Amino acid sequence: MENRTEATLAQLGAGLLIFFGGEIFHPGEAARVEKIRDSSRQELAAKICPTYFEKSFVERHWSFRDMAWCDDYREKI
């Protein structure tokens, strides 16, 4: 019974580590990733966001919802 409990706790710990690991061990990681994402979006906005803006309301909110960040660059293009 003891080995089974230890194995279960180990699996639970591993799952928590995978789920929360990035923020527990690297608290600034989220900010670093966001900074990288923003810089690449600024470079790409002029190239790909006009396509997003040409789409209808439904297309923008359904098919192109992963490009919703383009709304932040509407005035900058």
Average pLDDT of the segment spanning 55-70: 93
Among the listed ranges 4-8, 43-47, 53-57, which one has the minimum average pLDDT value?
A: 4-8
Number of domains in the chain: 1
**What single-letter DSSP state applies at residue 55?**
S
Whether the predicted pLDDT of 8 surpasses 50: yes
d(CA 76, CA 74): 6
Could you give the CA distance from residue 49 to residue 29 in angstroms, rounded to a whole number? 27
Assess whether pLDDT exceeds 90 at residue 2.
Answer: no
- Of 35, 32, 38, give the one whose Cα is nearest residue 69: 38
Residue 48 · residue 70 · CB < 8 Å:
yes
Domain holding 63, by residue range, is 2-73
Q: Which of 25, 63, 68 is nearest to 48 (CA)?
A: 68
